Amino acid sequence: MNIKMTVLAVACALVLSACSDNSSAPAPAAPAAAPSATVATPMEAPATMPMAPPAANPGTNGKPAAVVTDCATEIEGNDAIQYNVSSIVVPASCQEFKITLKHVGTLPVTAMGHDVVITKTSDMKAVDVDGIAAGAAAGYVKPDDSRVIAHTSLVGGGESTSVSFAVSKIQGDGPYSFFCSFPGHSALMNGSISVE
Ligand code: ZN
């Protein structure tokens, strides 16, 4: 009996030592793999960093907000089919707001006309399509379009135009946008207008 117990005890001890040897064997392998993992991490970090800024500012195209002074702002359009701002924030204290568009390019209105048309963002595309159908004589804005909250005339290089409107008109169920209705321009020339 005593001998058998001893054999069993030895056998168990051998198994335990064998198990502990096996379990300790993979341990050195894990730290060996770790260095390659830490090498990969710094390589991924710079790749994701440049992606973050564009995602944080969707639709702004990196342009600033319009500078507003005394319930008015002046924005620019150029020969590269660009406004110089991405958004206009109208102070809630204003009753009326005036937008002046300065065409800082040199191309004529027939080739590079710019205007500012304000609609609900959800109406922008349809108003643009109907404006293009209305044609150059209508300034690419459909006459008496109830979806148009305000719009300037169409101007060419070196010219300016402006429009004033009641701020209450853009305090409803927005969001609201402004865009250029010259054919093909709205995809590049648009921005948000809001009241804060
Ligand atoms: Zn334009």
pLDDT digits (tens, 9 = 90+) for 146-156: 999 999 999 99
Lateral strand order in the sheet of 117-120: 87-90, 190-195, 176-179, 117-120, 150-151
- Ion ligand 1 neighbours (CB, 5 A) are 114, 180, 182, 185
pLDDT band for position 23 (cuts 50, 70, 90): very low
Q: Are the beta carbons of 86 and 139 closer than 8 angstroms?
A: no
Determine the Cα–Cα distance for residues 178 and 90; give it in Å rounded to an integer.
13
Determine the Cα–Cα distance for residues 99 and 78; give it in Å rounded to an integer.
16
User: pLDDT tens digits for 97-143?
Assistant: 999 999 999 999 999 999 999 999 999 999 999 999 999 999 999 99
Choice among 38-47, 87-96, 149-158 with the minimum mean pLDDT: 38-47
Ligand 1 center–CA 33 separation, angstroms: 58
Ligand 1 center–CA 177 separation, angstroms: 15
Q: Which two tokens stand for residue 93?
A: 């204290």
Q: Which two tokens stand for residue 66?
A: 């319009």
pLDDT band for position 30 (cuts 50, 70, 90): very low
Coil, strand or helix: which one is 163?
strand
**Is the overall model pTM greater than 0.85, yes or no?**
no
Ligand 1 center–CA 91 separation, angstroms: 26
Q: Give the pLDDT of residue 86.
A: 97
- Tell me the pLDDT of the chain averaged across its residues: 81
Coil, strand or helix: which one is 117?
strand
